[in-house]
Amino acid sequence: HNPALIHGGPFANIAHGCNSVIATRTALKLGDYVVTEAGFGADLGAEKFFDIKCRISGLRPACAVVVATVRAIKMHGGVAKDALKSENLEAVRAGFANLRRHTGNLAKFGVPVVVSVNRFGGDTKAELDLLTGLCADAGVEAVIAEHWAHGGIGAANLGEAVLATIERKPAAFRTLYPDAMPLREKIRTIARDIYGAADIAIDGRAAERLSEFEKAGFGNLPV
């Protein structure tokens, strides 16, 4: 029976996607470990959590957990929704590229990563074994979590894996870009390093607005 603090938490597609700094700091005073969500994946959500919330607040996470499912991996591997119940190891191999990108994004912030594979009834042993093996080959521990079926006890092994990772791999947290970097370069860094873009184009009114922001003294703010 662990307390949950729900304060703030706007969606990452319209804002930073995190709960409030007040909620996190309050939780840190009440427990030895705090789990907080940075929704919308390790790109739209986690990047903002690290580069905005952690930068401004001074919070330093000890570990990052990526939640994945075999079904989502297979969809990334090209399987249609109505075919997800059928075992498809090739789709798991193909779709793993997406998960590997997410774990790689998180590693850029200097925190150790654990993958939580949220197991569902239709997942086969072969698919689960393949996915955890692919994670291991990529240097990331993956844990099969069964809280969907068994509640909290089904995720006890995940909690143990996270604690072991924290002890074994101390975090060396860093943000993706420094405060002093120009706004245009901050946007370029996020686009390239997190989203895989080759480059960005900022012209016309958008370029003018960035210049206005910097002249007004806002250039040191995160994007």
Please check whether residues 112 and 81 belong to one and the same domain: yes
Total tally of structural domains belonging to the chain:
3
At residue 42, the pLDDT reads: 82
- Is 221 among the domain residues? no
- Is 188 among the domain residues? yes
> 8: helix, coil or strand?
strand
- Is 222 among the domain residues? no
In our burial notation (b when 16+ CB lie closer than 10 A, e otherwise), range 123-136 reads beeebbebbbebbe
| pTM across the whole model | 0.91
Please check whether residues 41 and 115 belong to one and the same domain: no
- Is 33 among the domain residues? yes
Structural domain range at position 30: 1-59
CA 75 – CA 97 distance, rounded (Å) = 12
Cβ(12)–Cβ(48) under 8 Å?
yes
At residue 1, the pLDDT reads: 65
At residue 13, the pLDDT reads: 73
Neighbours of 54 (CB within 10 A): 23
Please check whether residues 160 and 146 belong to one and the same domain: yes
Rg for the chain, CA atoms, rounded: 19
Question: Nearest 5°: phi and psi at 113?
Answer: -125, 135
At residue 39, the pLDDT reads: 74
At residue 74, the pLDDT reads: 98
Please check whether residues 153 and 188 belong to one and the same domain: no
- Is 164 among the domain residues? yes
- Is 220 among the domain residues? no
At residue 101, the pLDDT reads: 96
By C-alpha distance, which of 118, 120, 156, 223 is closest to 2?
156
pLDDT tens-digit profile, the chain (223 residues): 677 877 776 677 777 888 899 999 999 999 899 999 887 888 888 999 999 999 999 999 999 999 999 999 999 999 999 999 999 999 999 999 999 999 999 999 999 999 999 999 999 999 999 999 999 999 999 999 999 899 999 999 999 999 999 999 999 999 999 999 999 999 999 999 999 999 999 999 999 999 999 999 999 999 9
For residue 167, give Cα distances in angstroms to 45, 96, 107, 163.
Answer: 25, 27, 17, 6
Please check whether residues 105 and 10 belong to one and the same domain: no
Please check whether residues 74 and 164 belong to one and the same domain: yes
User: Is the CA virtual torsion 47, 51, 55, 56 positive or negative?
Assistant: negative
CB under 8 Å, gap of 24 or more: what pairs does 186-193 form?
A: 186/222, 186/223, 187/223, 190/47, 190/51, 190/223, 193/105, 193/108
